[in-house]
Amino acid sequence: MPAIVLVGAQWGDEGKGKATDLMGSDVDYVVKFNGGNNAGHTVVIEGEDGTREKYALHLLPSGILSPNVVPVIGNGVVIDLEVLFKELDGLEARGVDTSRLIVSGSAHIIAPYNRTLDKVTERFLGKRKIGTTGRGIGPTYADKMNRVGIRVQDLFDPHILQQKAEAALSFKNQVLVKIYNRRAIGVDEVVDELLSYRKLLEPMVCDTGLLLHEAMQENKTILFEAGQATMLDIDHGTYPFVTSSNATAGGASTGSGLPPHAIDRVISVIKAYTTRVGAGPFPTELFDESGEYLRAQGFEFGTTTGRPRRCGWYDAPIARYAARINGVTDFVLTKLDVLSGLETIPVCVAYDVKGVRHDEVPVNQTDFHHAKPIYQEFPGWTEDITGARTFEDLPKNAQNYILALEAMSGSRISAIGVGPEREQVVVRHDLLD
């Protein structure tokens, strides 16, 4: 059975749950391999009695809600222990069995001082703000790269934990006190807080790389679930307005311990238009009534932050870029229904950068910042498409729009979301065939 990577093709919030739903019970393991509690996603579960429960997950893999799936937090994730156990407690209170969760001993922990540093640093940036969620994720990844981070496994050696906290705070307290005029953080309060989770965490911790290797040998299906999205990748996104980890398909290997050749398929989720939360360049962003229309019709507000999302038209160069960077085998196009009722639908097919046409995303971030979209207009449709279940059920103009996007996006469009409910989807190609 396959190992599948699921990534966002734009700046996040593409609706990756729609793709997860399509694979359903055929998945044995769901692995979160990057990010922290900055990547919110909403999952709706239907009970046997037909009732629907909506869950907003921030740190946990979506597989936590499926009784036959083993959810795994890989080594590439940074974990806020308080958030982790709040989420678990919240799910348990709603009757969800969370006992299957597995956590990598090599995953890094978000220490309290990194949450504090994240917030004060962003505040002092003023107009140069990155748009961080202020949850300590960036500083924790920085500690990881500087080799001064605290790992999950360190909780089981209090002596090592004490030493690491002392080393970190000897410098960070000087920054907090002398630069930001904040109080110093005590080593003991940090150590005590982290150790308070030790007993709760211990049954979950293992060598997740070995676990997944054995799962592959047993012919299990593994789904790797990326936080954030391609254009927020630390290396391949719109730097510096990016996340602090690798949110592209390559991150699935480094963030889990499973080798690249084990990955059979890369599914990328992309909206029928484009959204972004936070600062940074966004060529197709709309500042008029069209942007407000997309925001209202698509209910574009961040799952984690609640912030209104910036909205714009579909960007084909970004789609091609995502297809190339990730090795996309299948696109899942979401929220097509949001476009119903529009007379015409513009699609960005290239950029104008200071009078020069660019058919691909410019490598120079200054050029990308100054990129103006070159649009091609497509006829819209007025029909309600939420009841469509086959491609042929869609209005001809909607079919033509999809086929046009497919031709210019670098990979086939295998499924189309036509409404907010999990069954409101048109499947053109099986994602697991």
* Beta carbons within 8 Å of 336's beta carbon, 6+ residues apart: 272, 385, 398, 401, 402, 416, 417, 418
List the catalytic residue out of 13, 21, 154, 330: 13
Domain-wise residue ranges, the chain: 3-99+207-427, 108-202
List the catalytic residue out of 21, 41, 58, 236: 41
Predicted confidence (pLDDT) per residue in 325-380, tens digit: 999 999 999 999 999 999 999 999 999 999 999 999 999 999 999 999 999 999 99
Equal fold, 3-99+207-427 vs 108-202: no
List the one residue out of 407, 343, 411 whose CA is nearest residue 377: 343
pTM (whole model) above 0.85? yes
Out of 1.20.1250.20, 1.10.300.10, 3.30.70.1060, 1.10.3720.10, the CATH code matching 108-202 is 1.10.300.10
Q: How far is residue 77's CA from residue 98's CA, in Å, rounded to a whole number?
A: 18
Q: In a structure prediction context, what are the per-residue pLDDT tens digits for the chain, which is 433 residues long?
A: 589 999 999 998 898 877 887 887 789 999 999 999 875 666 666 666 666 677 778 889 888 888 899 999 999 999 999 999 999 999 998 888 999 999 999 999 999 999 988 888 766 555 555 556 678 898 999 999 999 999 999 999 999 999 999 999 999 999 889 888 888 999 999 999 999 999 999 999 999 999 999 999 999 999 999 988 999 999 999 999 999 999 999 999 999 999 999 999 999 999 999 999 888 999 999 999 999 999 999 999 876 667 899 999 999 999 999 999 999 999 999 999 999 999 999 999 999 999 999 999 999 999 999 999 999 999 999 999 999 999 999 999 999 999 999 999 999 999 999 998 878 999 999 988 7
Structure-token pair, residue 179: 């630069």
Predicted confidence (pLDDT) per residue in 36-94, tens digit: 987 566 666 666 666 667 777 888 988 888 889 999 999 999 999 999 999 999 999 88
Any bridge partners for residue 205, and if so which?
103
Catalytic site residue 261?
no
Catalytic site residue 369?
no
- The answer to whether the CB of 318 falls within 8 A of the CB of 231 is yes
CATH fold of 3-99+207-427: Adenylosuccinate Synthetase; Chain A, domain 3 (3.90.170)
